Structure formats: C-alpha cells, structure tokens
A and B are shown apart, each in its own frame.
Chain A
Amino acid sequence: AQSVTQLGSHVSVSEGALVLLRCNYSSSVPPYLFWYVQYPNQGLQLLLKYTSAATLVKGINGFEAEFKKSETSFHLTKPSAHMSDAAEYFCAVKRAGGTSYGKLTFGQGTILTVHP
C-alpha cells in the first residue's frame, strides 16, 4: 500500500517569495508521483508528474518538483510566487505498473496563500 503526507495544511508566502510545498510518500514499490492544483470551486488540474524518468520534473506555471528516493520526498517549488498561485495543492502517489491502473492516493492538501 502507498500513502502520502503533506507537511503543513496551510502555507503563506509573500508575492515574489519562494514557494515550497512538502510531500513525503510511502510505497513498497517504485511509485509514480503527481502534484495537482485546485482553484476555488473547480476540479483538480495536473501541475506535473514523475514517472521514473528525470528526477527533476518541470510543470506548468513555473512549478517544479524533485524526486528524492533516499528521502522519499517529492517537494513542489516555485522560485517566485504570484498572486494567481493561491490555491490548494495536492500530492498524489500511485504504484508503478501492475494492475493499480489509475488508483491515486492523495495527500491531505496544502492551502497556499500569497500576500501582496
């Protein structure tokens, strides 16, 4: 079985500051990892995904994440926050291959607030 822990249910940054959202996973087999963003009253939208290729993954809107197997982490970063980044962010994991199909396991979510 796999699980995801997002450290910090709320993160607040100033506009222009570094964004760091933390995600640690637990998986008995090599995982695929995803970050999704949810804007208010909308569905989830994929930001980026790691599927065992490059460990540094670049996504949309200037976000990137690095897969660190030794730390079982997949933290999301953005060098300079913008007001439009305010949203809830979810880290998710699924087991690579096998019959797990698209069964994602989500973290609890982190609400990002950006102050002017």
Chain B
Amino acid sequence: NAGVTQTPKFQVLKTGQSMTLQCAQDMNHEYMSWYRQDPGMGLRLIHYSVGAGITDQGEVPNGYNVSRSTTEDFPLRLLSAAPSQTSVYFCASSESGNTDTQYFGPGTRLTVL
C-alpha cells in the first residue's frame, strides 16, 4: 500500500513551457485535491475532485488544468508555466472528503525560470 505518490519530486521549467504533475493513490479514495505551498501562506487549494469524471476549482485555479479519468489518478497540468507558479505542490486524497483524514503525497518542488 503506497498511499499517495507524486512524480516528479523536482522539476525546473522555463517560462512558457507546459508540464504535467502526476498524482496517484491506491486507497480507492473518492476525493482528491491539489494544493500549492508557498512560504508564509500555508497551503492553498488549486483544484479538487469528488470522483472520477468530476472536478472543480479551488482557491487558486488560474493557470492549471485537471482531469480525473480514473479513481486512482489525478494529474495537474501547467498550461504555460510562469515564475509565479514556482512552488511546492501537494496532492491529497480522502475517503469521502467530509470529516475524513486527508492523506498527502510527498510533494513536487517546481521552479519556473
């Protein structure tokens, strides 16, 4: 049981490049979400999904796309990277999303030059 896995762990992009951050969970959780963590700002919700085929925007969705074709996977796409997207990205999952514990992946540290 690997929990929540994220790849890559580190990534450097140039402004304007696109890329996909991968997230997978093997706990059969319905709810998955993406956060970004910036110093002094805690974690902010980017997008979330309450099940396969259903996604919605969080607090800071601009510049990011998501899709959820399977229960296990929830990739985050950066369409045209900007220096403001330099951050640490965390994926999380939970069984139902209400009072259930959210389990976090180890994070992806992204730098946009």
Contact = CB atoms under 8 A, between A and B. Distances in A.
Interface in A70-105: 90, 92, 97, 101-105
Contact of A42 (B33, B92, B102, B106): B106
A45 B97 CA distance: 16
Interface in A7-53: 9, 32, 36, 41-46, 49, 51
Q: Which of B43, B58, B96, B100 has the largest number of chain A CB atoms within 10 A?
A: B43
B45 A44 contact: no
Interface residue range, chain B: 20 to 34
Given A106-B43, A108-B40, A101 B50 contact: yes
Contact of B45 (A41, A49, A104): A104
Contacts of B76: none
Interface residues of A, number: 24
Given A102-B33, A102-B97, A46 B106 contact: no
A102 B94 contact: yes
A45 B58 contact: no
A12 B61 CA distance: 35
A4 to B, nearest CB: 8
B105 A97 contact: no
Contacts of A9: 40
27 contacts: A41-B106, A41-B107, A43-B4, A43-B106, A44-B90, A44-B92, A44-B102, A45-B104, A49-B99, A90-B43, A92-B43, A101-B31, A101-B48, A102-B31, A102-B33, A102-B48, A102-B94, A102-B98, A102-B102, A103-B48, A103-B97, A104-B102, A105-B45, A106-B35, A107-B42, A108-B42, A109-B40
Interface of B: 4, 31, 33, 35, 40-45, 48, 50, 58-59, 90, 92, 94, 96-102, 104-107
Interface of A: 4, 9, 32, 36, 41-46, 49, 51, 90, 92, 97, 101-109
